[in-house]
Structure 1
């Protein structure tokens, strides 16, 4: 007797965005984001004082202005681009596809309910966190939040997560082909700018409790820690991309952006953008592989402010390579992963 196929659905998980560029919406979004204990990992009371007493009052207006520089007629670029990805993926898979944001709207519960409305006897949801690399403040919090909503609502369907895909061949190929056309241009250097995280996050995520950041070359030494080491995974992505594209040694480097205070991963992108022209790097290509969808951190921080920093320091040419967004090869990679569920490359919760 032939077994009936499992009734599945797909959720694409992304970071999120304010509902508008108005200060109350930006404040609400920043509060939800920064009060997450996996983003600012201090005790709750201290975090509340820091976030609501210091950070929110000082950052809301500036953040609102930053969002205004990238806002479109379709609203938030990140939300709009994630919806485009959803639509493109839906054309390649039979299962219904929804999107959910870790912070803001649309939320995780709404995504679950929309899928249940489409498939009342839903048996399994495949959740794809749109983060190539493992980090407490991105992949981990998205997965934990999805699990928590699943538990609280006592949903009967199972839940699977695609693991970080920083070294997955189809992702690397899609990313490399996105970069390839830019390499035909006259450039001096290509900078892989990854989102920064505090060094303490790297140590907290280390399952061995002794490997990460223990030496200058820890990311090159074999260890179980690499399965959750954001720094190692970023370097691994760069290493594979430059291999695929045959980018010469000395023609590329890594940096980390979006720092909030001291003790974050180095080198810092903003500092490197100031230094490079003095080192003879006048024509720069830059990309942000930690993001698969263009957002505030790519469109405003890198494409606008980063360019200003580089050009004012003496640069002559600066170009940001867009994120994968809804690139066809990237969509094909996602579709392929959903069809390979059950091969052992995903984790699972069963009800």
Structure 2
């Protein structure tokens, strides 16, 4: 069987215009694994309210961070794809879960190159219903409908791979080593608390109090986003030798009024600024590519909040983006899969 690799990231509007942003948000927010309420309620919320109020403001935000080459997330993902392709002997395609760079196009590209066995790699270190799971489900739907002759191999969350933690720690350390800081904030994309419960394969073992996240060996941790975020922070802090009290984990980008994972990033920045923290560094390990949430929400809005509350220095550490060593981690995943498949045959 001829092998191929499909890297999948979140996606982006085709342009920062309100029209394109509205189209993108419509697809994204109507996904039942992003806003997981019944279709009627989701339609009223998204099409009746959000898409009539949010696209203009979101477009303005995208315009602030848009590059001459296009969407930062798309450009950085393409650069990463090229580097992974240079390191592996199999065709590597790139797709987005939402937007015009569809997963169907990515699969078709690999099929056109003769691939019959495809490994999908969602570019999310931690598993979440609204990220990894929606990619897996979409791939399954497309294969059943359009590509029944290909075999798909999924990639599990890689938050606890030693090589990934080494690279993430190195990327953070390169900034911290030259920085005088009071606190390092690890900010992860938030999800509603109910997503954690829905992903609990033990049907109720999750206590939603943060304590069970650190009890190693629990079955639900394979699909527990909160656990995987907390452990990412713990592993990086250990690797960098960060002292207790000098770092913490928070969650950003909440939507609506339901309870989301806490503590919230914006409120933490505000609280710490008020409490006298003067020099903060912030890293966003749920994202491998810099995007709207890192370049605008954190680097612009977060810094503004910090300065308004009395903070002086606010340093945003870049995502892994197209680092050579991160491309090496992904290529190692590919080689491990290819070797295992060869031995199986």
TM class by shorter-chain length? over 0.9
The structural deviation recorded for 1:154 is: 3.2
Residues of 1 paired with 2:145 and 2:210: CA distance?
A: 43
Paired residue secondary structure (1:323): coil
TM-score by length of 2: 0.95
TM-score by length of 1: 0.94
From the superposition, tell whether residues 241 and 344 of structure 1 become closer, same or farther in structure 2 (CA, over 3 Å).
farther
RMSD: 1.3
Q: How does 1:270-349 map to 2 (within 5 A)?
A: 270-341=266-337
Please name the residue that 1:348 is paired with. Answer: none
The structural deviation recorded for 1:224 is: 0.7
Please name the residue that 2:3 is paired with. Answer: 8
Residues of 2 paired with 1:305 and 1:292: CA distance?
A: 20
Paired residue secondary structure (1:14): strand
From the superposition, tell whether residues 316 and 110 of structure 1 become closer, same or farther in structure 2 (CA, over 3 Å).
same
Deviation string for 1:191-232 (max 9, x for gaps)? 000000000000010011112235441212242111111000
**Does residue 144 of the first structure (1) align with residue 137 of the second (2)?**
yes
Residues of 2 paired with 1:108 and 1:226: CA distance?
A: 27
1:33 to 20, 28, 31: 28
Paired residue secondary structure (1:208): coil
Residues of 1 paired with 2:129 and 2:139: CA distance?
A: 14
Please name the residue that 1:88 is paired with. Answer: 83
Please name the residue that 2:207 is paired with. Answer: 213
Gaps of 5+ in 2: none
Residues of 2 paired with 1:28 and 1:102: CA distance?
A: 14
Gaps of 5+ in 1: 1-5, 346-351
From the superposition, tell whether residues 216 and 117 of structure 1 become closer, same or farther in structure 2 (CA, over 3 Å).
closer
- Runs of 4 or more consecutive aligned structure 1 residues displaced over 4 Å after TM superposition: 342-345
**Does residue 192 of the first structure (1) align with residue 176 of the second (2)?**
no
The structural deviation recorded for 1:123 is: 2.2
Paired residue secondary structure (1:162): coil
Q: How does 1:57-136 map to 2 (within 5 A)?
A: 57-119=52-114, 122-136=115-129
From the superposition, tell whether residues 344 and 274 of structure 1 become closer, same or farther in structure 2 (CA, over 3 Å).
farther
Paired residue secondary structure (2:153): strand
2:150 to 142, 153, 157: 157
